[in-house]
């Protein structure tokens, strides 16, 4: 554990709040302390309000902000006086507490204050830092966790038994503080939850957090419990159909499509293959913070039906405890442990799946370390259930609203590095899909820098390369819902009299043969798309209206169109729709340089602009326009359409 405080950097901060931002970001940079929005921090300052009265304000992390990237605006200013009054109440139901916090914020538009706000308020120090440090959880989550904490920290910290986060926890902490805190107290350990540190300055509070966690790490190191075991992946054959089946059944159980991400983490393999995984992984999550996003316990093996039914039993068992909590979350797993897959995680988006992966990756560390100390103990089933069905969590789910149209779905686009393909990638990402882009161009991985995008360099004329790309893409996202067959070549004009057979074959190899291989290899995967597979084929105006000098191109696109029509006939029974677009004169692509455009325009006696708009509507057709039609054809508006051919050319007299 490294103290990252940099006096020069800190010196640039002009206020306590800016220092609060600075040291919060230092905590956020270490994923063994806080993960994905976990943890929270605060600072108490005196401010004059508009009426000239001075009041004490607690700036506390707002929900929806991540410590790693938090800014001044990420802190909610709440009136301390009211918070301290609330802390005196006997009881305060959580929804009411949230209302009280929101209505005591002094800046309109500020984010909702953390549910741990009252806890921050009752700690009588200027700066307060709170993390869910892995090393600490490994120690508190053992049978004799409390004794171990005493041994490590002695009187330096207060120890609070597990209480569900919210008002009740704030009350318990306030009581402990009053009764037991000494001038030398620098922190507070919440068993099976996390760690608080505090101090008069940002540096002091941060430094104490780091030194407290360091002491926990040293304790683990001395007992040989710090490092998690690892196991190499080993040779595993093609898994793509297996993974797509698994994703399909998770989606069935959840009631919506999901992204399923698998990664070759040697730590996950060791964990999934350990002889005691069946038992130890079911003992519960390391901290309530992790339940929120990984949801319940991991699934072992790939039997989603059995998992879902045991989840329903768990719900039934605990339902009386939840009383009014009528809503039941979907019974689908979010974390899957399997000796062959290692760890796979599911989510409504690639980001959600990645969050579940990161959280469980840290849980595995906590479990492995606690086991090395003598045995992992976690939140009980009751505690787990209470938290999962917590009013505030349920409210958060309700607030989330309706997801984007392609949430949880995966689209594959060939020829993704530029032009229409790149525009399709962007349009699909915008609508919530995870996207795999294929291209011969080595620039393809850089088309989008987001967890929902994977760019793979691949030569689609090689069946081997297609197989490898499918394996990699399915490991990343779990399936194929939409396939956009866009890659193609557009050779220079050559009259038939001088057309070489080799050139003819080269054009067919890319424009037809490669698409046949892709369709054949993708068919078993498209069949498993939870909402039915969709294929969009990039044809050409030349299919209906060929041009002289474009024999190979026009014939290849005609063959491809015919291939798509047959696919529409054959695959309808599998719920797969296959439609073809016929674009024309899309000039914002790689092949149309300014120079080529000018020469072409001149040969027709037109300006470049006139040439671009040389169609019935007098409009320019851009890559983005084609991409918008592609996503439309994958969406609900075209759900009853297959085998269709649609021009996107501004209207062409020879086609109409
Ligand atoms: Zn917490």
386 & 499 share domain = no
The pLDDT score that the predictor gives to residue 326 is 54
Structure tokens at 414: 């060939």
Contacts of 540 (CB under 8 A, 6+ apart): 553, 554, 557, 582, 583, 584
CATH at residue 104: 3.40.225.10
Domain boundary among 175, 193, 222: 222
The alpha carbon of 212 and the centre of ligand 1 are apart by a number of angstroms equal to: 16
273 & 371 share domain = yes
Q: What is the distance between the alpha carbons of residues 607 and 602, in angstroms, rounded to a whole number?
A: 7
Kindly state whether residue 227 falls inside one of the protein's structural domains: no
The alpha carbon of 270 and the centre of ligand 1 are apart by a number of angstroms equal to: 29
Kindly state whether residue 353 falls inside one of the protein's structural domains: yes
301 to each of 43, 91, 113, 182, how far by Cα in Å?
A: 46, 44, 40, 50
Rg for the chain (alpha carbons), in Å? 29
Q: Which residues of the chain fall short of a pLDDT of 70?
A: 234-235, 290-295, 320-328, 387-400
261 & 312 share domain = yes
297 & 319 share domain = yes
The pLDDT score that the predictor gives to residue 156 is 96
Task: List 527's β-bridge partners, or say none.
Answer: none
User: Can you point out the beta strands (E) in 255-351?
Assistant: 259-263, 299-300, 335-338, 342-347
Give the helix ranges, DSSP H, for 223-349. Answer: 240-254, 266-273, 277-280, 288-294, 304-322
462 & 389 share domain = no
Q: 12, exposed or middle or buried, with CB in 10 Å at 0-12, 13-18, 19+?
A: exposed
Kindly state whether residue 66 falls inside one of the protein's structural domains: yes
Residues, CB-to-ion distance under 5 Å, ligand 1: 194
Q: What is the distance between the alpha carbons of residues 593 and 242, in angstroms, rounded to a whole number?
A: 44
Kindly state whether residue 538 falls inside one of the protein's structural domains: yes
Q: What is the distance between the alpha carbons of residues 57 and 189, in angstroms, rounded to a whole number?
A: 25
Kindly state whether residue 233 falls inside one of the protein's structural domains: no
The alpha carbon of 439 and the centre of ligand 1 are apart by a number of angstroms equal to: 45
66 & 148 share domain = yes
The alpha carbon of 59 and the centre of ligand 1 are apart by a number of angstroms equal to: 17
Say how many domains are in the chain: 3
The catalytic residue positions are: 553, 557
The alpha carbon of 33 and the centre of ligand 1 are apart by a number of angstroms equal to: 11
276 & 388 share domain = yes
The pLDDT score that the predictor gives to residue 235 is 65
The pLDDT score that the predictor gives to residue 398 is 63
Q: What is the distance between the alpha carbons of residues 81 and 225, in angstroms, rounded to a whole number?
A: 45
432 & 349 share domain = no
Domain boundary among 399, 421, 450: 399
27 to each of 5, 31, 70, 209, how far by Cα in Å?
A: 10, 8, 11, 9
Q: What is the distance between the alpha carbons of residues 581 and 485, in angstroms, rounded to a whole number?
A: 10
383 & 297 share domain = yes
The pLDDT score that the predictor gives to residue 515 is 98
Domain boundary among 222, 249, 280: 222
The pLDDT score that the predictor gives to residue 288 is 76
463 & 501 share domain = yes
393 & 423 share domain = no
The alpha carbon of 463 and the centre of ligand 1 are apart by a number of angstroms equal to: 50
Kindly state whether residue 232 falls inside one of the protein's structural domains: no
The owner of tokens 């009588």 is 124
The alpha carbon of 337 and the centre of ligand 1 are apart by a number of angstroms equal to: 26
The pLDDT score that the predictor gives to residue 616 is 96
The alpha carbon of 349 and the centre of ligand 1 are apart by a number of angstroms equal to: 25
The pLDDT score that the predictor gives to residue 330 is 84
The pLDDT score that the predictor gives to residue 460 is 97
Residue numbers of the domain that contains 528: 410-648
pTM: 0.91
User: What is the distance, to the nearest Å, from the Cα of residue 335 to the centroid of all Cα atoms in its chain?
Assistant: 13
Q: What is the distance between the alpha carbons of residues 41 and 131, in angstroms, rounded to a whole number?
A: 9
Q: Please calculate the CA angle 571-640-574 and round it to the nearest 5 degrees.
A: 20
157 & 260 share domain = no
Kindly state whether residue 639 falls inside one of the protein's structural domains: yes
Kindly state whether residue 405 falls inside one of the protein's structural domains: no
């Amino acid at each position: 554990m490294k103290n990252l405080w940099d006096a020069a950097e800190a010196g640039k901060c002009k206020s306590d709040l800016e220092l609060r931002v600075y040291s919060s970001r230092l905590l956020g940079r270490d994923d063994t302390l806080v993960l994905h929005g976990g943890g929270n921090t605060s600072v108490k300052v005196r401010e004059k309000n508009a009426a000239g009265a001075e009041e004490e304000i607690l700036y506390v992390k707002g929900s929806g902000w991540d410590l790693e990237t938090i800014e001044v605006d990420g802190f909610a200013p709440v009136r301390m006086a009211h918070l301290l009054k609330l802390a005196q109440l006997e009881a305060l139901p959580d929804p009411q507490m949230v209302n009280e916090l929101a209505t005591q914020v002094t800046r309109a538009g500020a984010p909702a204050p953390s549910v741990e706000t009252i806890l921050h308020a009752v700690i009588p120090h200027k700066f307060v830092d709170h993390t869910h440090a892995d090393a600490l959880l490994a120690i508190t989550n053992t049978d004799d966790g409390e004794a171990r904490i005493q041994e490590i920290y002695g009187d330096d910290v207060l120890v609070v038994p597990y209480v569900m986060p919210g008002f009740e926890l704030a009350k318990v902490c306030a009581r402990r503080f009053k009764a037991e805190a000494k001038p030398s107290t620098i922190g507070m350990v919440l068993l099976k939850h996390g760690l608080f540190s505090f101090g008069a300055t940002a540096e002091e509070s941060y430094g104490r957090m780091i030194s407290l966690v360091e002491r926990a790490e040293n304790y683990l190191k001395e007992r040989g419990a710090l490092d998690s075991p690892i196991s190499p992946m080993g040779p595993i054959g093609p898994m793509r159909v297996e993974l797509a089946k698994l994703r399909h059944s998770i989606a069935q159980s959840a009631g919506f499509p999901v992204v399923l991400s698998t990664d070759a983490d040697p730590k996950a393999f060791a964990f999934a293959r350990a002889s005691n995984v069946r038992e130890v992984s079911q003992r519960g999550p390391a901290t309530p913070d992790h339940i929120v996003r990984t949801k319940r316990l991991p699934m072992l093996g790939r039997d989603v039906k059995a998992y879902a039914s045991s989840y329903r039993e768990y719900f039934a068992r605990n339902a009386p405890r939840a009383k009014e909590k009528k809503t039941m979350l979907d019974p689908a797993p979010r974390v899957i442990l399997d000796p062959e897959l290692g760890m796979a995680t599911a989510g409504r988006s690639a980001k959600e799946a990645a969050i579940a992966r990161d959280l469980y990756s840290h849980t595995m560390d906590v479990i492995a370390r606690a086991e090395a100390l003598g045995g992992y103990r976690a939140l009980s089933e009751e505690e787990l259930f209470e938290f999962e069905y917590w009013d505030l969590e349920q409210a958060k789910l309700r607030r989330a609203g309706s997801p984007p149209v392609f949430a949880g779905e995966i689209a594959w686009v060939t020829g993704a590095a530029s032009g229409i393909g790149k525009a399709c990638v962007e349009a699909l990402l915008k609508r919530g899909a995870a996207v795999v882009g294929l291209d011969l161009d080595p620039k393809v991985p850089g088309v989008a820098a987001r967890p929902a995008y994977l760019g793979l360099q691949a030569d689609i004329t090689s069946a081997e390369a297609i197989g490898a790309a499918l394996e990699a893409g399915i490991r990343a996202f779990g399936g194929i819902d939409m396939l956009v067959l866009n890659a193609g070549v557009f050779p220079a004009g050559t009259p038939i009299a001088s057309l070489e057979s080799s050139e003819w074959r080269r054009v067919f190899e890319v424009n037809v043969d490669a698409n046949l291989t892709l369709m054949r290899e993708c068919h078993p995967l498209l069949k498993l798309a939870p909402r039915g597979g969709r294929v969009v084929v990039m044809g050409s105006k030349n299919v209906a209206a060929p041009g002289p000098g474009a024999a190979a191109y026009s014939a290849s696109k005609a063959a491809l169109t015919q291939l798509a029509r047959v696919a529409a006939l054959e695959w309808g029974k599998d719920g797969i729709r296959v439609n073809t677009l016929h674009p024309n004169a899309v000039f914002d692509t790689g092949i149309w340089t300014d120079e080529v455009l000018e020469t072409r325009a001149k040969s027709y006696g037109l300006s470049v602009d006139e040439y671009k708009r040389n169609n019935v509507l007098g409009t320019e057709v851009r890559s983005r326009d084609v991409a918008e039609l592609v996503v439309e054809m994958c969406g609900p508006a075209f759900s009853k359409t297959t085998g269709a051919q649609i021009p996107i050319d501004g209207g062409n007299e020879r086609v109409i």
